[in-house]
Amino acid sequence: MSSTLDVVNPYSLEVIGSAETSEWDQVDGMLATAHRLFRQRDSWLPAYQRIEILKKTARLMEARFEDLAFQIANEGGKPLVDARVEVMRAIDGVELCVHEVGQMTGREIPMDLTEAGSGRLAFTQREPIGVVVAASAFNHPLNLIVHQVAPAVATGCPVIIKPAPDTPLSCLDFVGMLHEAGLPPDWCRAVVCNNEVAEQMITDPRVGFFSFIGSARVGWMLRSKLTPGARCALEHGGAAPVIVGEDADIDEMIPLLAKGGLYHSGQVCVSVQRVFAPPSKAQEIAQKLAAAAKLLKVGDATDATTDCGPLIRPGEVDRVEEWVSEAIDGGAELLAGGKRLGPTTYAPTVLLNPPANVRVSQLEIFGPVICVYSVDSITEAIETANSLPFAFQAAVFTQSLETAFQAIQRLDATAVMVNDHTAFRVDWMPFAGRRQSGYNTGGIGYTMHDMTQDKMAVIRL
């Protein structure tokens, strides 16, 4: 029996829409249909049809650009200016899938390297891996869906996507546009369901590939329960470090750090969180970051003048408030923010020298908080940056090639940005967490590779 989930604006908490939820019997039917489609190879969609569907989807997204941006802001709390950037990235991501379809090639395998292999010709080709089941996060409610669903469509995998319960509307719209563009509905279904049904779906033996974006606790737990043979990709978060050299251009750095740390009120998995600076510069950096933070307008994300929207739920405001208070009680100097502005908003916050053992120094804050630490050397900064069980993207600010390469070589990160913030990303680059921060690699082309598998033909001549 289906029921309805109300979707609220995270700033006003007013209901803005609803989504029909599914129970296991309905999801079971979707899995059965998807699995049947994959097993019936004569029914696979040829590449030219998949390309045409994705091209039409991109055109539909362009035609509904402002509506999609407003919906991202309305259901997810991302400021409208940033929501528009997300829509553009999502369109580009669909078009990138079109390009990558043509890159899904195999290769010749040389066979006559030994006498045993001589007289044979061998080559590989890429095939879809099977039914893809994906579970997504709230913070990029359209672009994350594109990253999980469009590669499945491009590679010819039937896909079932579960959006975050806070932000299902953008997902439902995207899946609807795929269908409108000509994708047979059974090849892509959106499922809004409770956690019990979701876990049963994800761990079902008919699933070939599981894509997850969300908390490490949930992601690693689900991975441990996957059916034997199922592949997966997990994208979690971190506590992104920034190393500041003695020669860094502070005035050039401040707007980048402020954007990287306070964009979407810090609700980004690679948001700037820990800034390690020389003792002679830490106070100045923290004060200038605080001045930048105080200029930001916090409010309803659908207001075009808003810089920082709400946190996704009131409970997240409570948590951020608790973590910041703990740091201040432990001796951190508060230079900006440090207070809730309402039931759903928290002021952009800058802390100087929080203790090493408090949560803002140990865990991902996922809120509008930047911490600046005074460290005596680059070596100490890198050692401290590497001390957590999370490793995702990192950054270094310096005018010295030696310092830059020291950070590149020694930071435990999948990407090190030089003179840029940790949240930089383009959608064709590899994007991944190490250790507890994730498993396998995201990015359109990399995801498409993971959703396919090699098959080799060996022909005796």
> Domain residues for 213?
4-236+437-460
Average pLDDT in the 239-256 region?
A: 95
Average pLDDT value for residue range 147-176 = 97
Residues 392-449 have pLDDT tens digits of 899 999 999 999 999 999 999 999 999 999 988 888 888 888 888 888 888 999 999 9
Helix (H) or strand (E) holding 352: strand 349-352
User: In a 3-state reduction of DSSP, which class is residue 249?
Assistant: coil
Catalytic: which of 97, 188, 269, 371? Answer: 269
Q: Let me know whether 204 and 267 are in one domain.
A: no
Residue ranges of the alpha helices (H) in 240-340? 250-262, 279-294, 314-329
Q: What CATH number is associated with residue 326?
A: 3.40.309.10
Instruction: Tell me the per-residue pLDDT of 48-105, one tens digit each, with 9 for 90 and over.
Output: 999 999 999 999 999 999 999 999 999 999 999 999 999 999 999 999 999 999 999 9
Contact (CB, 8 A) for 424 and 417:
yes
Q: Is 269 one of the annotated active-site residues of the chain?
A: yes
* 3-class SS of residue 81: helix
pLDDT tens per residue, range 363-384: 999 999 999 999 999 999 999 9
pLDDT at 2 over 70: no
Would you say 335 and 362 are in contact if contact means Cβ atoms under 8 Å apart? no
* Among 235, 308, 316, 371, the one annotated catalytic: 235
Do 268 and 394 belong together in one domain?
A: yes
Dihedral over Cα of 91, 88, 451, 25: its sign: negative
Helix, coil or strand: residue 459:
strand
pLDDT higher than 80, residue 284: yes
254 and 195: one domain? no
Q: What is the pLDDT of residue 64?
A: 97
Alpha carbon distance 248, 282 (integer Å): 12
The answer to whether residue 321 is domain-embedded is yes
State the amino acid at position 157 in one-letter form. C
Q: What is the DSSP annotation of 390-433?
A: EE-EEEEE-S-HHHHHHHHHHS--SEEEESS-TT---TTS-B--
Backbone angles phi, psi at 107, to 5 degrees: -155, 160
Section 383-396 average pLDDT = 92
| Mean pLDDT, residues 122-143 | 95
- pLDDT surpassing 80 at residue 36: yes
In this structure, are 204 and 253 located in the same domain?
Answer: no
Residue 23 near residue 1, CB atoms below 8 Å: yes
- ∠ CA 85-90-96, nearest 5°, is 125
Same-domain pairing of 87 and 28? yes
Asked if 235 is an active-site residue, the reply is yes
Report how far residue 327's alpha carbon sits from residue 351's, in angstroms, rounded to the nearest whole number. Answer: 8
DSSP 266: G
* Same domain, yes or no: 363 and 456: no
Angle between helices 80-101 and 47-63 (to 10 degrees): 160
Where residue 182 falls (left for φ over 0; alpha for ψ -120 to 50; beta otherwise) is left
> What value does the mean pLDDT of the chain take?
95
Are 59 and 106 part of one and the same domain? yes
Q: Tell me, yes or no, whether 244 and 230 share the same domain.
A: no
Q: Say if 431 falls within a structural domain.
A: no
Task: Count the Cβ atoms, other than its own, within 10 Å of residue 157.
Answer: 26
In 3D space, the residue among 237, 239, 261 whose CA is nearest the CA of residue 420 turns out to be 261
Assess if residue 432 is contained within a domain. Answer: no
- Residue 185's contacts (CB-CB under 8 Å, 6 or more residues apart) are 179
Tell me how far apart the alpha carbons of residues 351 and 273 are, in angstroms, rounded to a whole number.
Answer: 10
Instruction: Report the domain count for the chain.
Output: 2
Do 195 and 66 belong together in one domain?
yes
Is 150 found in the same domain as 86? yes
> Using 50, 70 and 90 to split pLDDT, how confident is the model at 216?
confident
- Residue 181: other Cβ atoms inside 10 A: 19
pLDDT of residue 435: 87
- The CATH number of residue 145's host domain is 3.40.605.10
The band of 207, judged by pLDDT with boundaries at 50, 70 and 90, is very high
Indicate if 228 and 246 belong to the same structural domain. no
Percent share of the chain, pLDDT over 70: 100
User: Do 224 and 299 fall within a single domain?
Assistant: no
Within-domain flag for 44: yes
Identify whether 345 is part of a domain: yes
pLDDT digits 0-9 by tens, 104-130: 999 999 999 999 999 999 999 999 999
* Residue 360, pLDDT score: 95
pLDDT band per the 50, 70, 90 thresholds, residue 1: low
Comparing C-alpha atoms, which of 410, 404, 405 is closest to residue 385? 410
Residue 252 has a pLDDT of 94
In sequence order, which residues have a C-beta less than 8 Å from that of residue 70 and are 6 or more positions away? 80, 83, 302
User: E strands within 144-250?
Assistant: 159-162, 188-190, 207-213, 231-235, 240-244
Token reading at 307: 């810089």
